[in-house]
Structure 1
Amino acid sequence: MTKRLTLLVLFFLFAVGAQAQEFTPIQYEEYKLDNGLTVILHTDRTAPTAMTYVLYRVGSKDEVTGRTGFAHFFEHLMFEGTKNIKRGQIDKLVTAAGGVLNASTSFDQTDYFFKVPINQLELALWIESERMAHLVVDSQGVETQRKVVKEELKQRYEGRPFGTLGDNLFKNTFKGTPYEWMPIGVAQDINSASIQEFLEFHEKYYLPNNACLVVGGDLDVDQTKQWIKKYFGSIPAGNNPERRTIVIPKQTEPRELIVEEAVTPLPAYIESYVTVDYRNDDAYALELLGNVLSSGKSSRLYQRLVDNEQLALQASSFGMPLDKAGMFAFFSIANAGVEFAQIETAIKEEIAKVQRDGVTEEEFNKVRNAKETSFTRSFLSLDSKLRNLAAYSLFYGQTDLVNKELEKYMSVTRDDIKRVANTYLRPERKNVVKYVVMDKNS
């Protein structure tokens, strides 16, 4: 609601309308092909467009030490070419059809999407099926993408203040687990990997029975089903990927990591705790706890660290539930001359207040209402609907949770928020990363 309106009455009406907006359940149809591919269809008549979204259950946690970055590498390689699409033509075919395309990789998944005019939906489905069935993994494509990924790594890290923050945060928090490296991987791992290793990784994970295809938009449902059967139905299933058991070691004492980099302009303090995976109901209470502590300038951390005591330029907290674990973290950039101990003490005291007294009724209602509004708005876009449908199906095994998850947030109580603060934000579970400013004269 950032647009300025000239007349106050219009602003008032707009504000009331936004607050009254309720979540509209998402209608969808879900089925499986004989090869195990999960298919979800969602009709949206808002515009004469369509979107295909393919989610593969493979991310950086499925890699091994010394061979990281493979899932992210395939995010790039899947745009190279296939048996029936010449190298470099995928982008051109989609853009020439008036569409857009992209992909992303995280710790637990890799996804790809096309958004096209509705009369180009068949093209999008054919290209996506080609990538699933006939991706070309050869020396030319691999070497091309090695260069691309190395350049991406260079841009991410070289000369960027706090560019390594994610690496150090996850390395310190999830030490000894496959969550300790970032999805982008390590340059030397990609450099030293053989084509055969890439082929084996692709053959293991990029299978119809390890994927979910969601198609949404101004669909002719019967025609869409025919195209899906035509292009995806004959792709053979593979063996269901064997997945190692990921055990998060019990932490009995805090850990600390000191980072010295020439590009660090001001001290940064990051404090993290291992929590729960996203299927655990405590993840909802932890998210609301984070909102109480740091959502907006009236939040506890911002008021304490930034406004009142002026210890930091920035203060925030965030949660990140994952497939096999989760993390809750605090992040602050200190003002010049402020000691880390001052930041650490302030955060410790704010945690202790919640653990002892809980949150106020006013704070609780504020974050609860804000979550209801943000959740509803997040499902206004076709992109968001398709992404969530795929995730709830492939990772939760409960596609209908897309229409029920708001209830989980709304069922969180003040006692739940107090309980999770006491359960997970314990001193022996604390992990600290400190970015120190190097002495320019040393």
Structure 2
Amino acid sequence: MKLAPFVAILAALAVPLSAVAKDDPAAPRRITLKPIQFVEYDLANGLHVILHENHTSPVIATYVLYHVGSKNERADRTGFAHFFEHLMFEGSDNIPRGKIDKYVSGAGGNLNASTSFDQTDYFFNLPSNELKLALWIESERMMHSKIDEVGVETQRKVVKEEKRMRYDNQPYGSLFEELSKLVFAGTPYAWVPIGSVQYIDQATIQEFRDFYKTYYLPNNATLAIAGDFDLDKTKKLVEEYFGPIPKGPDIKRPEFHLTDPTSPVTHDVAKPNTPLNATMHAWHAVPETNPDSYALQLLGDILSTGRSSRLYKRLVEKEQAALNVEAFPFLLENGGLLGVFATGQHGVSLDELDKLIDEEVEKLKAEGVTAEEYRKALNQEEAEFASGFGTMATRARNLARYHVFYGDTNLINTELDRYFAVKREDIQRVAKEYLGKEKMFTLRYPAAGAPAPEAPAAK
């Protein structure tokens, strides 16, 4: 699992190791990981609960995933999901304002939250004797979080400052915002989770309360707990804290699909704080649950992961045209993209960067990948998969996301089989299918003060 969730991938991809190794001797040997045991069930109100009991260390991790992200927003109210990530720390009817972080840190724990296009999540890491504290806080936030003028005004200022510091004032800080606008135009993925400050300013207190009542429901949430706890006692605690919360109406999910362009699209972004020429090539890709998602992940690894990757060897080492280069699949619930981003050396033109990237992509499409590249990419995915078995926090997170987006919680134990089911020819096939020249979006950042590049206007 990479940057997003999954639903159900064709069972044919879950091929036993013996079959994979027999079909392609280039596949490396697999490591053996002890399966992660878990229990999952639903409360009467629709809350899905996943419990992974592990007594290795006296710690627990709780993770609550709400199936709501920026794609659930109105186009004239972007930023709501992210705003609520902040607002949920204001307190509740029974938790004084600003006390949540103090309660958790005072108990020897830590907390955080995040918002993406498809989800908003909250987690606590605490000593195992503080499980009640975590469950109490999360149930309070779900049942009656404090949504009032004081909290809204406080968080408006926080979000505005975050946008200024992390996006507006950073070189290339608008890159993903511009990329989403370009590649996902006409869909709810066309805006990023940080949203637009103007819409947060325009929103009324009732709009914020309506968003909370619509999405912060037990039947739109998954609670995963991993760590040092007693299973039967924890089940009783979960029922005690979350059982009384009433079930809400069913959530209406946005339905949309991406339409490929019929000719290349190029857009230049001129910013006064851009130090060096930079370019992004992007193509539409599949949702995370599509069988081709695994071949696309391996394709990204082969193109740019490590100093032996194709793009690094060509652009950074051989030509010395780029300071860095990265290829990444960004796969979401309803679609995705595969992007290649390069920052040029001083004096290297955008046209030169674009030409070098095009040549390497076309070469891979024409010649396929080598046995060595294939083995290395699988090893990289295997190492990343194994790291997901590490902390209780990563286990809780992965369990919840496999359930919500893939409909199969046990993928935490079996998903690696799907990477090993990918053949070398599959990687070449997806490159040919998705990385067509006529389907390409190019987003370019000319260095400040450089002559304006010649490029076709965005279509």
TM-score of Structure 1 vs Structure 2, range by shorter chain: over 0.9
Q: Are the counterparts in 1 of residues 37 and 53 from structure 2 also a CA contact under 8 Å?
A: yes
Q: Alpha carbon RMSD of aligned pairs, Å?
A: 1.5
Look up the match of 1:295.
Answer: 305
* Structure 1 residues without counterparts, runs of 5 or longer: 1-18
1:348-387 aligned at under 5 Å gives the runs: 348-387=358-397
1:378 deviates by 2.7
Aligned match for 1:331, one of 341, 344, 349: 341
Output the amino acid matched with 1:404: T
Look up the match of 2:9.
Answer: none
Output the amino acid matched with 2:365: Q
CA distance in 2, matches of 1:202, 1:317: 37
Output the amino acid matched with 2:136: W
Q: Are the counterparts in 1 of residues 283 and 338 from structure 2 also a CA contact under 8 Å?
A: yes
CA-to-aligned-CA distance 1:155-192 (integer Å, 9 cap, x gap) = 11343111111111111111111111111111111111
The answer as to 2:107 corresponding to 1:65 is no
Look up the match of 2:158.
Answer: 148
CA distance in 2, matches of 1:158, 1:420: 35
1:438 deviates by 2.4
1:244 deviates by 2.4
Look up the match of 1:397.
Answer: 407
1:100 deviates by 0.9
Between the two proteins, what is the percent identity of the paired residues?
Answer: 50
Question: Larger deviation: 209-218 or 252-261?
Answer: 252-261
1:374 deviates by 2.2
Look up the match of 2:185.
Answer: 175
1:24 deviates by 2.3
1:100-119 aligned at under 5 Å gives the runs: 100-119=110-129
Aligned match for 2:417, one of 395, 407, 411: 407
CA distance in 2, matches of 1:324, 1:419: 22
1:56 deviates by 0.3
Structure 2 SS opposite 1:433? strand
1:429 deviates by 1.3
Q: Are the counterparts in 1 of residues 323 and 344 from structure 2 also a CA contact under 8 Å?
A: yes
Structure 1 runs of 4+ aligned residues shifted over 3 Å read none
CA distance in 1, matches of 2:420, 2:253: 34
Q: Are the counterparts in 1 of residues 76 and 199 from structure 2 also a CA contact under 8 Å?
A: yes
Structure 1 SS opposite 2:445? strand
Look up the match of 2:21.
Answer: none
Structure 2 SS opposite 1:250? coil
Look up the match of 1:429.
Answer: 439
Look up the match of 2:291.
Answer: 281
TM-score, normalising length: structure 2: 0.90
CA-to-aligned-CA distance 1:353-404 (integer Å, 9 cap, x gap) = 1211110111111111222122112321211111110011111111111111
Q: Are the counterparts in 2 of residues 58 and 205 from structure 1 also a CA contact under 8 Å?
A: yes
Q: Are the counterparts in 2 of residues 266 and 333 from structure 1 also a CA contact under 8 Å?
A: yes
* Structure 2 residues without counterparts, runs of 5 or longer: 1-28, 453-459
Output the amino acid matched with 2:419: Y
1:219 deviates by 0.8
1:264 deviates by 0.5
1:176-255 aligned at under 5 Å gives the runs: 176-255=186-265
Look up the match of 1:55.
Answer: 65
CA-to-aligned-CA distance 1:83-139 (integer Å, 9 cap, x gap) = 111111111111111111110001100000111111110111011000000111111
The answer as to 2:31 corresponding to 1:25 is no
Structure 1 SS opposite 2:275? coil
CA-to-aligned-CA distance 1:174-228 (integer Å, 9 cap, x gap) = 1111111111111111111111111111111110000100011101111111110
Q: Are the counterparts in 2 of residues 266 and 336 from structure 1 also a CA contact under 8 Å?
A: yes
Output the amino acid matched with 2:312: Y
Output the amino acid matched with 1:54: V
Q: Are the counterparts in 1 of residues 257 and 335 from structure 2 also a CA contact under 8 Å?
A: no
Look up the match of 1:125.
Answer: 135
The answer as to 2:324 corresponding to 1:314 is yes
Look up the match of 2:53.
Answer: 43
CA-to-aligned-CA distance 1:275-298 (integer Å, 9 cap, x gap) = 000001111000101111111111
1:22 deviates by 2.8
Aligned match for 1:417, one of 427, 443, 455: 427
Question: Larger deviation: 133-142 or 367-376?
Answer: 367-376
Question: Larger deviation: 207-216 or 165-174?
Answer: 165-174
CA distance in 2, matches of 1:339, 1:86: 56
TM-score, normalising length: structure 1: 0.93
Q: Are the counterparts in 1 of residues 71 and 254 from structure 2 also a CA contact under 8 Å?
A: no
CA-to-aligned-CA distance 1:231-274 (integer Å, 9 cap, x gap) = 10010010111122122223212211111111100000101011
Structure 2 SS opposite 1:80? coil
CA distance in 2, matches of 1:208, 1:374: 31
Output the amino acid matched with 2:212: H
Q: Are the counterparts in 2 of residues 22 and 376 from structure 1 also a CA contact under 8 Å?
A: no
Which structure exhibits the higher relative contact order, with contacts defined as CA atoms closer than 8 Å and separated by 6 or more residues? 2
| Count, aligned residues | 424
Question: Larger deviation: 34-43 or 87-96?
Answer: 87-96
